[in-house]
Amino acid sequence: MRTKIVAGNWKMNLDVEASKKLAMDISTDIQNLETNNTRIIIAPTFTNLYPVINLVGMDTRIEIAAQNMHQAKSGAYTGEIAADMIQSIGVNTVILGHSERRTYFNETDKALAEKVNTALQNRMDVIFCFGEVLEDRQQNNHFSIVEIQLKKALFHLKPQDWKHIILAYEPVWAIGTGETATPEQAQEMHAFIRNLLSAKFGENVAQEVSILYGGSVKPANAKEIFSKPDVDGGLIGGAALHSQDFTALIQAIQ
C-alpha cells in the first residue's frame, strides 16, 4: 500500500520562536489522531531546522525536511547548504525543484537531476516538485511539460531509487493563489504521471510511489482532493502555517 503523506512547506516564514511554537502545536494537536500509514513532514527554513528538530525530534510521527540543498559535497558556494550539513543535524528529507526555486533562483532540470543524485547518494528522501504554469495549461501543454520535467530530472534513476522519491505535482497557477486544481484535474495528472512511471520503471514502481498534490490545499477542499485514487497526499504551503489547519489536513487524509 502506498504511503499517505501530508507535508508542510513553511517557505521563508517564521522566526525561530514562531517555528518552535508551530512545531510544538502540531505535535500536540496530532496527539489523539489516528495517523497510521501517514507520513507527516514539516519543512522549516534552514536556520530553524535544528531548533525544531531538538524540540520535536522525539515525536516520531513528525519528520523534518529541508526546503532545498546544493548538489556539491562542499566547497566555494557562498550561501549554500550541502547534504552532509543537513544530515548532520538529523534531517534526511529534502524538497527539491519547488517552482519558487525554479522561477526565482533559476534552478534548471539539469541542476535538479544533480541535486536528486546527491540526495540519493546520501540516502536521503526527496520530495520532488514539478508542474505547469497557467499558460501551459491554457495551451493544453500541461501533460507534455510535466513529462519533460520528470524525464529530465528523474528518468535516469534506477527502479530501486524510487523508494526514496516522493513526487509533488504542483500546478504553478495554483500555488499561493487560492485557486486549486479541481480534484478531477489533479487525478487526471496523477494518473498520467503513474502511467509514465509504469512505462519507464515498471508497474511496481508506479504503484509504490506517493504522488502528492500541491497548490492552495486547505481544510475546505482537502478531503475531495485526497479522496482521488492517485492522490496520495499534499504538499501544503499557506495552510501549513496554522496548526489547526495542518491538523485538519492530516485528518482529511485518513
- Residues with catalytic roles: 98, 170
Nearer to ligand PGA, 186 or 205 (CB): 186
Question: b/e map of 116-136 (b: 16 or more CB within 10 Å)?
Answer: bebbbebebbbbbbbbbbeeb
Cβ atoms 67, 95 nearer than 8 A: yes
For residue 94, the minimal CB distance to ligand PGA (Å) is 14
Cβ atoms 210, 234 nearer than 8 A: no
Nearer to ligand PGA, 45 or 216 (CB): 216
For residue 47, the minimal CB distance to ligand PGA (Å) is 20
Which positions ≥6 away from 202 have C-beta within 8 Å?
Answer: 159
Q: Which residue is nearest to ligand PGA (CB)?
A: 237
Q: What angle do CA 224, 5, 20 make, to 5 degrees?
A: 110
Residues 167-186 binding ligand PGA (CB under 6 A) are 170, 175-176
For residue 214, the minimal CB distance to ligand PGA (Å) is 4
Cβ atoms 27, 57 nearer than 8 A: no
Nearer to ligand PGA, 176 or 202 (CB): 176
Determine, following the binding rule CB under 6 A, whether residue 235 of this chain makes contact with ligand PGA: yes
Based on C-alpha coordinates, what's the Rg of the chain?
17
Residues 194-223 binding ligand PGA (CB under 6 A) are 214-217
Determine, following the binding rule CB under 6 A, whether residue 9 of this chain makes contact with ligand PGA: yes
Nearer to ligand PGA, 150 or 206 (CB): 150
Sketch the per residue contact string, 126 through 165, with ligand PGA: x for CB under 6 A, - otherwise.
Answer: ----------------------------------------
Residue span binding ligand PGA (CB under 6 A) among the ranges 105-113, 120-128, 145-153, 237-245: 237-245
For residue 98, the minimal CB distance to ligand PGA (Å) is 6
Which positions ≥6 away from 198 have C-beta within 8 Å?
Answer: 205, 206, 207
Angstrom distance (rounded) from CA 23 to CA 55: 8
Which positions ≥6 away from 183 have C-beta within 8 Å?
Answer: 224, 225, 227, 228, 231
For residue 191, the minimal CB distance to ligand PGA (Å) is 21
Instruction: Pick one of 237, 243, 245, 249: the residue that binds ligand PGA (CB under 6 A).
Output: 237
Angstrom distance (rounded) from CA 186 to CA 37: 22
Contact residues toward ligand PGA (CB under 6 A) are 9, 170, 175-176, 214-217, 235-239
